[in-house]
Structure 1
């Protein structure tokens, strides 16, 4: 997670939790003059549009006061959904046995993209089995990880 994402999560997570939701993760995507701030929220009873709207209003107020993003930005609040993004080691550990896609920031063993079965977490590394080979990928080198939904 980038420094900006870490800063934003530390700033926004308490407000999300105060509303009774879990901050699943944050994506901060700076694209030229415009920035996208996507906040994923989770709750045991699920997430509906009203929950997203409630959290969005609260986070907008916090962001207006704190003003952590200098340029124009769009705030999106969403459920992680079926192809849920994974941000933390605990999230990878919770989905052991599931199919996942992982993209690294820099190549490891000649590749950046891995798709296979999550086998666990060892220290600060995610274990993924691709075909007959297990890879240990440091969490700090993971750019993006998602569960592949089963239908």
Structure 2
């Protein structure tokens, strides 16, 4: 009987190693088998727009990356608008008119969103001011003793110093 040299302990280990080596990495982009535009430039434009549109189901994921049904529908709408000749601003305006500014990954800075954009800075400033005021108040309270408390502290110190 002829024995072949196999560097792996078993055939199952060989199969596992081959599966790991030959398996391509997973793509993070959602797949629309029927939805791609035939013109590669328009498809690239549509994908750029999709990256700026928020999935309304997933919230912090673009419709380009989401596999939700609504995201697939919105990708189709974007492709239809691009195929019809709309530019990116027109496509985004179309979606904002239907879903509001929330559909944009980067909402515009205007009078309705000042609090959204400035809120973190305002909260940071207020937190710092409260911390500073609290530390000053504690220092001021700790420095003042009533006459009775001072007499008690002095008597304790006298007892310790003069046994």
Please indicate, yes or no, whether the TM-score normalized by the shorter chain is above 0.5: no
Specify which structure has the higher proportion of helix. Answer: 2
> What TM-score does the superposition give when structure 2 sets the normalisation length?
0.26
Q: Which structure has the larger Rg?
A: 2
Specify which structure has the higher proportion of strand. Answer: 1
> What TM-score does the superposition give when structure 1 sets the normalisation length?
0.27
Structure with bigger RCO (C-alpha 8 Å, 6+ apart): 1
